[in-house]
Amino acid sequence: MIKLDYQNNLNGTQFDKDFNVYSYRIGTNYDISDKNSLFVNYSTGFRAPTINQLFAGSTSAWGSTQNNENLKEEKSHNYEIGTRGYLNTLFYEISLFRLDRKDFIMKTSGNYGSSTTEIWDNIGGAKHQGLEVALSDKLTDKLTYNLAYTYLNAKYTNYKNFGIHFDANGNGRVDAGEITSYDATGNRIPRTPQHTLNVVLDYEVIPKLNVVSEINSKSSYFADDLNKIKIDKVTTLNLLSTYKTKINSYDLTFFARLDNVLDKSYFNTARASGDRNGDLVFNQEDLSLTVNQGRTFTTGLALKF
């Protein structure tokens, strides 16, 4: 049980709310052979509303949002089926997954609201489903590899009231409280690339010295809920070297890492929620960005005792 209490010291009002929520997980594993098995998992999850969403409301640069004492908790259901094991020396794990989320707590005019007063409500939903593959094996006595691939199809199943500040009446300016509404149901969820690949090669130079190369690749993704602004795919290369030794009874590790070896320019995160620069065009100029710092060298020493 989750118990929430709220007291407004300005007017003396006091509220409380209880959520009788629970989550559970169930799974089974079946051995096909000594080295291979099938598995099935099912789990649930939840997220309770916040104190502000229930009792106090909230304010932002776009206006205010009223509280809603009737809010329900957000719920999720996770399904997974797959197989794992060994084929000679090759370890593999392959799984299909699906995550259903419903009763998202959103503003009644969408996540980005209008400058007029809105209210919090359970009005959103999403589905994440796809495939995960993991492989690892030795190529030689000194060279091993690890490969991880994910295909993800993440879409809104309920987002009929998405709204952004824009020139709704077409008069060439964005007036106070003016909002353009969209139905974003079926759109891909922002910042979720459909394809993600990670490949690691680990080479043992000598028994205490390893050199590792890592390739990360992500396909293009959308930066906004309307799926109008697409961010290009990116592939990066990282290098890592470690040397492990002992001094008396202490484990000593030296490491050096070079990230983004090819010094590629790309965005760590990119998001857009409206016409930020006020030019009446919703495009890449309205992005809020975190730019990757480029080629980065890190070195260090770790002592375990």
Q: Is the pLDDT of residue 275 over 90?
A: no
Q: How many Cα atoms occupy the beta-carbon half-sphere of 37 within 13 Å?
A: 8
Token pair for 279: 């030019």
Question: What is d(CA 157, CA 97) in angstroms, rounded to the nearest whole number?
Answer: 17
Token pair for 21: 């929520």
What is the phi/psi pair of residue 55, to 5°?
A: -125, -30
Largest CA distance in the chain: 78
Question: What is d(CA 93, CA 78) in angstroms, rounded to the nearest whole number?
Answer: 18
Question: Quick count: other Cβ atoms within 10 Å of Cβ 34?
Answer: 8
DSSP 66-117: E--TTPPPEEEEEEEEEEEEEETTEEEEEEEEEEEEEEEEEETT-TT--SS-
Q: How many residues does the chain have?
A: 305
Is 116:108 a contact under the CB 8 Å cutoff?
no
Is 3:16 a contact under the CB 8 Å cutoff?
yes
- Helix (H, G, I), strand (E, B), or coil: what is residue 220? coil
pLDDT band of residue 155 (cuts 50, 70, 90) is very high
Average pLDDT value for the chain: 88
The per-residue pLDDT for range 72-126, each reduced to its tens digit, is 999 999 999 999 999 999 999 999 999 999 998 887 766 555 545 678 888 889 9
Alpha carbon 26 to chain centroid distance?
A: 24
Token pair for 6: 């709220």
Q: Is the pLDDT of residue 304 over 90?
A: no
The per-residue pLDDT for range 279-299, each reduced to its tens digit, is 777 788 888 899 999 999 999
DSSP annotation of 61? T
238: CB partners within 8 A, 6+ apart: 213, 214, 215, 216, 257, 258, 259, 260, 261
Token pair for 258: 């070079």
pLDDT of residue 116: 54
β-strand partners of 90: 87
Start-to-end Cα distance in the chain: 42
Give the fold, CATH level 3, of 2-304: Maltoporin; Chain A (2.40.170)
Alpha carbon 84 to chain centroid distance?
A: 25
Q: What is the mean pLDDT of residues 48-65?
A: 76
pLDDT band of residue 7 (cuts 50, 70, 90) is confident
Q: Is the pLDDT of residue 142 over 90?
A: yes
Question: What is d(CA 42, CA 80) in angstroms, rounded to the nearest whole number?
Answer: 6
**Residue in 217, 175, 179 with CA at minimum distance from that of residue 196:** 217
Residue type, 71: L
